[in-house]
Every structure is written in structure tokens, then in C-alpha cells.
Amino acid sequence: MKTLLMKLSEGDGKLPPKASIRDIVFAGVGGGIVTAILASASLGLEVALILGSFGASCVLVFGYPNVPFSQPRNVVLGHFFSSLVGIICFVNFGETWWSVAIAISLAIMIMMATRTVHPPAGSNPIIIFLSGASWEFLFFPTLIGSVILVGIALIYNNLRRGEYYPEYW
């Protein structure tokens, strides 16, 4: 117990550097644009294109576009793999506490094994279990929505002078 308390108290306690006002506004506006486009398209097309975890994806993609978790490969495939695992577990094991736990565990392992970790996608299995989603969820909103999100991020993030997105595919 003493060792745990020592570990918890270690560190220099310094906060990360504060983002510039320009970066803060740019990130917020980018997230708002994606959300507006996905939400309005969902209404117009009468198909789900927006997913709760996309809000957290916007934080990463627009606020921290250079980190590995924000790269297109991670965003799209992370969401896809996590939703796929969630649906497989939901369909095969039903809505139980242990099946959602297995789905989360598998989603984490698959994203790590495929180098497609995108932390917001880790919530997709929970969303699937809470909503009772079907196989359609894998494409609408998961795949199509994440591709649209990344497409907008590619255009929007590259409008910044001196900044390039993505770092890799």
C-alpha cells in the first residue's frame, strides 16, 4: 500500500502547455462543423450518421491532429473494429454485463494489435449495447460517419498554414 501511495504522489505536477486562442477556436469550430454536417445530414437522409463517440473524436482530430490517435487510419478503423466487436458480442451473447465487458476487452485488444487505437471508439460497444444496435450500425453511423468526419478534418486541418494532416495513413 505504501508503494502505491508513493507512485500516486510522484510526478512534477506541471500542467501541459496551454493551447493558443487560435488553436482553441480552430478546434472548437472544426468540431462544431463536423457535428452540424453529420447531424443535419442524418435528418435529411433519414439515416444515422452521428455517433456519441464522434464528439470525443472531434476533440482529438481538431484539438490534437498530430497525435497517433487522431490519424485517419486510427479514427476510421478504430471505430469500425470496436463497433464490429460490439455487434458480434451483442448478437451472439445478448445484453449481459459480461458480454459488454468482453466486447470492450476485445475492442481494446484488436485496436492495439492492428495499431488502430482511437480511444473514443472504445465506447462504441457500450453504445451498441445501450441502444440495441443491429448490423446496420456498423455502416450507419460507424463507417460512413467516421469517413465523413475524417474527410472534413483533412480539408479543415490543412487550411492551417504550416500544419499538415495526416501524419500518416
Q: What is the pLDDT of residues 81-124, one digit of tens each?
A: 999 999 999 999 999 999 999 999 999 999 999 999 999 999 99
* φ, ψ for residue 94, nearest 5 deg: 80, -175
HSE, side-chain direction, 13 A CA sphere, residue 110: 19
Q: What is the pLDDT of residues 112-123, one digit of tens each?
A: 999 999 999 999
Q: Residue 69 pLDDT > 80, yes or no?
A: yes
Q: What is the pTM of this model?
A: 0.92
Q: What is the pLDDT of residues 19-29, one digit of tens each?
A: 999 999 999 99
Contacts 24+ apart (CB under 8 A), 97-102: 99/129, 100/125, 100/126, 100/129
Q: What is the pLDDT of residues 5-55, one digit of tens each?
A: 777 777 777 898 999 999 999 999 999 999 999 999 999 998 999 999 999
Amino acid sitting at position 87: I
Which one, of 53, 123, 131, 138, lies nearest residue 88 by Cα? 138
